[in-house]
A and B are shown apart, each in its own frame.
Chain A
Amino acid sequence: MLTIDNLHATAGDKEILKGISLTVNAGEVHAIMGPNGSGKSTLAQIIAGHPGYTVTSGSVTYEGRDLLALQAEERAQAGVFLAFQYPIEIPGVTNAYFFRTAYNEVRKANGKEELDPIEFLDLMETKLKLVEMDPAMLHRSVNAGFSGGEKKRNEILQMAVLEPKLAILDETDSGLDIDALRVVAGGVNALRRPDNAAIVVTHYQRLLNYIVPDFVHVLANGRIVKSGGKELALELEARGYDWVLEAA
């Protein structure tokens, strides 16, 4: 589904990604862990199409297409979704309006019929239950004044509505209480199908008890320095990163 090959990227003069290769097949869940500042969010943002980074070499192929040639919105319409580490506030645009517009844009791009506001509210009702969110949040401005946990929950709600093929969660578990963590994991697991895939960026093995990954990768200093199965996360939890970095 997704093939990243020897990806190098910079922001300004700074080289952040220094040759990343990663293959994600349909049906798989990959966890990416690694120290602060190692480039995890940069990788996630580049996949989503953030204009602030320059890819200097390497390629990203998604479902046989050159992902880097697509605009951010085209990637979203093709089923790529990024839950932001720091969700953006949009004062003046209600959640309800934003979600419906996003949903319909994606439907339209895929040749499907758009939903009217009433039909969309019906759809939202089920999705809200899934993430256990108060329907009143729909009428507030997107993320504006939301607590940290509410913002993360709102990301999962968007994911649940858009039903992406490839979901990337950038530290969606950070700052969540236990209940919220369960909800986030539930959202991801509900999406888990043989034809979908997920990349979960996290610092905590705890999340991986709920979302069991097929692979765990350690990203350090712009490179994937170690990959393994789910037991690698347990080992990192117990021993920290030093041993991996030294070996690399």
Chain B
Amino acid sequence: MTSATKATSDGYEQAFSALRSSGGPSWLPALRREAMDRFNALGFPTTRNEDWHFTSVTPIAERVFKIAPTRSGPATLSPADVATAAIGDPDWHRLVFVNGRFEASLSAFAGLPAEVRVTTLADALKETPEFVAEHLGKLAKSEGQTFTAFNTAFAQDGVVIHVPGGEVVEAPVHIVHIADVHAAGAGIHPRLLVVAEPLSQLTIVESFVCTGSPGAAYLTNAVAEIEVGNGARVNHYKIQRESTDAYHVGTTQVRQGRDSMYHSFAYASGAAISRTNIYTQLAGENAETRLNGLYLIDGTQHADHQTFVEHLAPACASRELYKGILDGSSHGVFNGKVYVDPIAQKTDGKQTNHALLLSDQARVDTKPQLEIFADDVKCTHGATVGRLDEAALFYMKSRGLGADGARALLTYAFAAEVLETIEVDQLREGLEALAFARFTHGEQR
């Protein structure tokens, strides 16, 4: 441990001791302490760590991000602010967190089916501590995962969703994380726990947005654990539009039962440095996972996506499509790992990722990693890094489109293929409009 990391680890130890842990169930302090010890022992990953080879977290490691205090005065944001900041719909169930703290006045999720439980983590710890104890930290383990340990040690609040067997939640559950002007210097560690029992259906949208500009760095370090029971279906959209001053690390750990479906879409256009981990275990026969994503970065932004699909049962399918659009001197990283266990015969895996470089300084590193230990499998991967098609640009210009308009339209078209896979209309249309505006009018995120 270097002296700089010693200083920050002392700082975090102090912050950890200062956290109020009164009122929670008796097992919680021990879970936290254990995570804190892991966090200390692991330290922040360096680029010598294979999983972090292309992403340096030095700017995150060299300072102490303080836990944002609970708001003392009246709410500074209105529902209209939330509507402007995050793509959503009044019909969705909505839980809003500002700088990591739940804002009841901005939230509305009363209209859920009676058997379906959606609560904040704080409430769940009071109301159903056994349920939380049974699931929290079971999928998202701290072992070897600094940021997960970090979250488990410091998580102040989050969301717990329990969908009993056969229940179908029609409208998406929207979890909105807003960083406002008070986020400067803060460490925000949201936690999401989802248990979708057999044959249930659920759509989750997680939005990470900012209002105004905090003007200084803050860190979002989110962890989600999602259990998808036999025959259940979970659609999960993660929309990362943090301030470009921010750092964002998001880890999603999923475990799928037989005949289940998990569809993930990760959109990332914010943060100075972002790292998105989507890990899923196909643990029952005939399960399907679909991991799609789009990132749009420019300036000096850095966006890293790591996916890990573990085929642990026969006849499962995994489909991945990630696209990146990079401008300025931005840097994108995509690392797609697939593991096929010896028993996972008839695995059908396909991974594709395409990057579009809009400038000479932008850069992308792609690393597919296939570890296949079964023989009767079909696993393919393909990656391209390209520039705008000059022939298409000329064709468009020859029809009267200006050079900028032609470039914008072609860039948008590149993004459209993956945006089209979003099944929630308002979200798809919202993101399409965002991407379109960004490319045609040079608007920000």
Write the residues of chain A forming the contact surface with B, with a CB cutoff of 8 angstroms.
48-51, 71-73, 75-77, 81-82, 84, 87-93, 98, 101-103, 105-106, 109, 141, 158, 162
Asked if B391 is an interface residue, CB under 8 A from chain A, the answer is yes
Contacting residue for B400 out of A51, A77, A89, A92, CB 8 A: A77
Mask of B411-444 contacts with A, CB within 8 angstroms, 1/0: 0111111000000000000000000000000000
Q: Would B398 and A82 count as touching, CB distance under 8 A?
A: yes
Contacting residue for B397 out of A49, A98, A162, CB 8 A: A49
Q: Given A101-B405, A101-B409, A105-B400, A92 and B414 touching (CB < 8 A)?
A: yes
Write the residues of chain B forming the contact surface with A, with a CB cutoff of 8 angstroms.
389-392, 394-403, 405-406, 409-410, 412-417
A191 to chain B, nearest CB (A): 16
B24 to chain A, nearest CB (A): 50
Q: Would A91 and B413 count as touching, CB distance under 8 A?
A: yes
Contacting residue for B395 out of A87, A105, A141, CB 8 A: A87
Q: Would A162 and B413 count as touching, CB distance under 8 A?
A: no
**Bound CA–CA A197/B427 (angstroms):** 49
Q: Given A101-B405, A105-B405, A90 and B400 touching (CB < 8 A)?
A: no
Q: Would A88 and B409 count as touching, CB distance under 8 A?
A: no
Report which residue of B394, B399, B402, B415 has the largest number of chain A beta carbons within 10 angstroms of its beta carbon. Answer: B399
Question: What are 21 A-B pairs at a CB distance below 8 A?
Answer: A49-B398, A50-B394, A71-B403, A72-B394, A73-B406, A76-B398, A76-B399, A88-B392, A88-B395, A90-B410, A90-B413, A91-B413, A92-B413, A92-B416, A93-B412, A102-B400, A102-B401, A105-B401, A105-B402, A105-B405, A162-B399
Q: Given A88-B391, A105-B402, A73 and B410 touching (CB < 8 A)?
A: no
Contacting residue for A91 out of B394, B398, B400, B417, CB 8 A: B417
Report which residue of A77, A82, A93, A158 has the largest number of chain B beta carbons within 10 angstroms of its beta carbon. Answer: A93
The residues of A that contact B403 with a CB separation of less than 8 Å are 71, 73
Q: Would A92 and B399 count as touching, CB distance under 8 A?
A: no
Q: Would B399 and A102 count as touching, CB distance under 8 A?
A: yes
**Bound CA–CA A177/B170 (angstroms):** 51
A83 to chain B, nearest CB (A): 10
Q: Would A162 and B400 count as touching, CB distance under 8 A?
A: yes
The residues of B that contact A162 with a CB separation of less than 8 Å are 399-400
**Bound CA–CA A77/B401 (angstroms):** 9
Q: Would B401 and A101 count as touching, CB distance under 8 A?
A: yes
Contacting residue for A90 out of B390, B396, B415, CB 8 A: B396
Q: Would B400 and A76 count as touching, CB distance under 8 A?
A: yes
Q: Would B399 and A51 count as touching, CB distance under 8 A?
A: no
The residues of A that contact B398 with a CB separation of less than 8 Å are 48-49, 72-73, 75-76, 81-82, 84
Given A77-B400, A87-B395: 7 more A-B contacts, CB < 8 Å: A49-B398, A71-B403, A76-B399, A89-B392, A92-B414, A101-B405, A102-B400
Q: Would A72 and B413 count as touching, CB distance under 8 A?
A: no
Q: Given A90-B410, A101-B405, A76 and B397 touching (CB < 8 A)?
A: yes
The residues of B that contact A51 with a CB separation of less than 8 Å are 390, 394
**Bound CA–CA A48/B400 (angstroms):** 11
The residues of B that contact A106 with a CB separation of less than 8 Å are 400
B416 to chain A, nearest CB (A): 4
Name the residue of chain B whose CB is nearest to the CB of A143: B395
**Bound CA–CA A89/B410 (angstroms):** 11
Q: Would A73 and B401 count as touching, CB distance under 8 A?
A: yes
A91 to chain B, nearest CB (A): 6
Name the residue of chain A whose CB is nearest to the CB of B401: A105
The residues of B that contact A109 with a CB separation of less than 8 Å are 400
The residues of B that contact A93 with a CB separation of less than 8 Å are 409-410, 412-413
B437 to chain A, nearest CB (A): 15
The residues of A that contact B389 with a CB separation of less than 8 Å are 88
**Bound CA–CA A72/B399 (angstroms):** 8
A115 to chain B, nearest CB (A): 14
Name the residue of chain A whose CB is nearest to the CB of B395: A88
Contacting residue for A73 out of B391, B397, B416, CB 8 A: B397
**Bound CA–CA A82/B397 (angstroms):** 11
**Bound CA–CA A76/B414 (angstroms):** 25
Name the residue of chain B whose CB is nearest to the CB of A73: B397
